[in-house]
């Protein structure tokens, strides 16, 4: 199938599919004309990539783990024991990012709370603190 058909069947833009190819996540054949030819299995590959992207993994990590992922019918699972350690490292990275974002939100809430509530008081407050 050509890239437009793969895009239609997966709901992923052609631009994203080209990017996945650049990142080594898809490996279409090429016709002499240069057109990409995708296999039926690429539909599942794209869906797996989307799941892993949604799980917070970057394309470089996905390229490493994708060959070892197994579709259980209920979702993806690591098919290689060593993959669990890599996924746990990614989970820790995400947890750290969440902690940082939560702290940033708390600080932003404090900044917002320090502002006067109404427009008139806000103008006076700005003038007094300028």
For 26-48, the pLDDT digits (tens) are 999 999 998 999 999 999 999 99
At 118 the pLDDT is 73
Give the domain CATH number at 72.
Answer: 1.10.1660.10
**Do residue 87 and residue 75 come from a single domain?**
no
Residue 38 Cα to chain centre, angstroms:
22
**Do residue 39 and residue 102 come from a single domain?**
no
8 Å CB contact between 53 and 62: yes
Distance separating alpha carbons of residues 43 and 34, to the nearest angstrom: 20
At 13 the pLDDT is 97
| Contacting residues for 46 by C-beta, under 8 A, at least 6 apart | 6, 10, 12, 17, 20, 26
**Do residue 59 and residue 113 come from a single domain?**
no
At 127 the pLDDT is 80
Q: Tokens for 63?
A: 């390229």
**Do residue 64 and residue 89 come from a single domain?**
no
Residue 129 predicted with pLDDT over 80: no
For 90-111, the pLDDT digits (tens) are 999 999 999 999 999 999 999 9
Give the H/E segment covering residue 53: helix 41-54
Looking up tokens 């947890």, which residue turns up?
95
Domain of residue 10, residue span? 1-79
Looking up tokens 């949604």, which residue turns up?
54
**Do residue 64 and residue 90 come from a single domain?**
no
Across residues 14-32, what is the average pLDDT? 96
Residue 20 predicted with pLDDT over 90: yes
The secondary structure of residue 56, as a DSSP letter, is T
**Do residue 25 and residue 70 come from a single domain?**
yes
Q: What is the mean pLDDT of the chain?
A: 92
Look at residues 60, 79, 98 and tell me which one is the last residue of a structural domain. 79
**Do residue 12 and residue 65 come from a single domain?**
yes
- The 8 Å CB, 24+ separation contacts for 35-43 are 35/2, 35/3, 36/2, 36/3, 37/1, 37/2, 38/1, 38/2, 38/3, 38/5, 38/6, 39/1, 40/1, 42/1, 42/6, 43/6, 43/9, 43/10
Q: What confidence tier does 126 reach under pLDDT thresholds 50, 70, 90?
A: confident
At 67 the pLDDT is 93
Number of domains in the chain: 2
**Do residue 62 and residue 11 come from a single domain?**
yes
For 54-91, the pLDDT digits (tens) are 999 999 999 999 999 999 989 899 999 999 999 999 99
**Do residue 8 and residue 18 come from a single domain?**
yes
């Amino acid at each position: 199938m050509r890239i437009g058909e793969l895009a239609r069947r997966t709901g992923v833009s052609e631009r994203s599919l080209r990017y996945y190819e650049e990142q080594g996540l898809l490996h279409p054949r090429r016709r002499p004309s240069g057109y990409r030819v995708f296999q039926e299995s690429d539909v599942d590959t794209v869906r797996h990539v989307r799941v892993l992207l949604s799980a917070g993994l970057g394309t470089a990590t996905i390229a490493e783990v994708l060959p070892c992922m197994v579709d259980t019918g209920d979702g993806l699972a690591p098919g290689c024991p060593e993959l669990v350690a890599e996924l746990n490292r990614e989970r820790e990275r995400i947890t750290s990012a969440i902690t940082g974002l939560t702290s940033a939100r708390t600080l932003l809430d404090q900044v917002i709370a320090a502002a006067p509530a109404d427009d008139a008081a806000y103008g006076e407050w700005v003038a007094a603190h300028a």
